[in-house]
């Protein structure tokens, strides 16, 4: 199938980044969200990030203007029905994602491909609740989408080869590299990354090191560009906890048990950068470790 126009559900951190990438690659993009404020913030972020790319000579001003002209927004989910491809990028909660696909279904073209940017939820299960499980895939962008070169492609048990080949070509057109993953909890990147972050939280919880020493140790001792606790704040502690719960529930292995301290931070609303507090406090001029 020739993909020309793309509908994106969600204008948040991941949704606006995905829209940015598709628009720069020449696709017509329509972003949907439940509030005009969310759409306005998403567009503002896209403009700011494209301006940064222009200033760093990654793209030209003409590229920026053409890409922004390809982006439209809507509060009506049904307006995405004419899209060739839909990328769901809503909250990492299965009930929300399933409800979105259910609401979309009556308005879709027969040939529309559905994808989810989920970082951990079963693609097979999400697909089974639609009328086209053979044309349903996981399309997991890394954060921030305009910068990170990888996209995980996840086939559900019913995904047909034509859909897979189409999405492989789309990822290539975006200038990204695809890593194909089987549909098991958290796929590849988060299956490996989140237990490491969870272990860093246990290391903090057990008093082996403080926030600063843990992050410094992994940056200078293991060559990581960000420390695991700094990265957890960037991802969002609620998302980290949700992925660990998916791993723990789906694989029934105690090594995936979420650290109680991670749960406590989420209960406190200390979700990381987006909340102003997490393992670091971001409310001042410089981030300050919270422990």
- Catalytic option among 94, 116, 122, 152: 152
pLDDT in tens, 101-145: 999 999 999 999 999 999 889 999 999 999 999 999 999 999 999
What average pLDDT score do residues 146-164 get? 97
- Catalytic option among 98, 119, 122, 198: 119
d(CA 59, CA 49) in angstroms, rounded, equals 11
- Residue ranges for the known binding site for NAD(+) are 10-15, 33, 92, 97, 119, 143, 274
- Rounded (5°) CA angle 139-143-144: 115
Q: Is 224 considered catalytic here?
A: no
- Catalytic option among 94, 190, 198, 230: 190
CB-CB contact of 137 with 164 (8 Å) = yes
The reported pTM is 0.90
Percent of the chain with pLDDT over 70: 100
What average pLDDT score do residues 143-152 get? 96
pLDDT the model gives residue 201: 98
Domain 5-182 fold is Rossmann fold (3.40.50)
Residue 92: pLDDT over 90: no
Residue ranges per structural domain of the chain: 5-182, 189-289
Residue in the block written with tokens 């995936």: 256
Hey, what CATH class is 189-289 in?
Answer: mainly alpha
Task: Please tell me if the domain spanning 5-182 has the same topology as the one spanning 189-289.
Answer: no
Sheet strands side by side (includes 28-32) = 71-74, 28-32, 5-9, 85-88, 113-116, 136-141, 150-155, 177-182
Q: Is 72 considered catalytic here?
A: no
**177-182 and 288-289 beta bridge pairing:** unpaired
Q: Is 120 considered catalytic here?
A: no
Q: Is 119 considered catalytic here?
A: yes
């Amino acid at each position: 199938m020739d993909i020309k126009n793309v509908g994106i559900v969600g204008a948040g951190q991941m949704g606006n980044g995905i829209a940015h990438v598709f628009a720069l690659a020449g696709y017509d993009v329509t972003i949907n969200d439940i509030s005009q404020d969310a759409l306005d913030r998403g567009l503002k972020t896209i403009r700011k990030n494209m301006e940064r790319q222009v200033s760093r000579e990654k793209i030209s001003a003409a590229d920026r203007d053409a890409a922004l002209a390809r982006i439209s927004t809507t509060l009506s989910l049904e307006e995405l029905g004419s899209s060739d491809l839909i990328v769901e990028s809503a909250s990492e909660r299965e009930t929300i994602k399933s409800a979105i696909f259910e609401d979309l279904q009556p308005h879709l073209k027969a040939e529309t491909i559905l994808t989810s940017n989920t970082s951990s939820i079963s693609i097979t299960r999400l697909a089974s609740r639609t009328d086209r499980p053979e044309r349903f895939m996981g399309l997991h962008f890394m954060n921030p989408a305009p910068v990170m070169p990888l996209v995980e492609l996840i086939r559900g048990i019913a995904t047909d080869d034509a859909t897979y080949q189409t999405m492989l070509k789309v990822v290539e057109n975006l200038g990204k590299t695809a890593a194909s993953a089987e549909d098991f909890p958290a796929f590849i990147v988060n299956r490996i990354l989140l237990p490491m972050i969870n272990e860093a939280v246990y290391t903090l919880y057990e008093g082996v090191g403080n926030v600063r020493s843990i992050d410094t140790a992994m940056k200078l001792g293991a060559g990581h560009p960000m420390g695991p606790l700094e990265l957890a704040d960037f991802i969002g502690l609620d998302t980290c906890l949700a992925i660990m719960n998916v791993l723990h529930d789906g694989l029934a292995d105690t090594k995936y048990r979420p650290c109680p301290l991670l749960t406590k931070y989420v209960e406190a609303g200390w979700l990381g950068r987006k909340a102003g507090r997490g393992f670091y406090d971001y409310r001042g001029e410089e981030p300050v470790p919270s422990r």
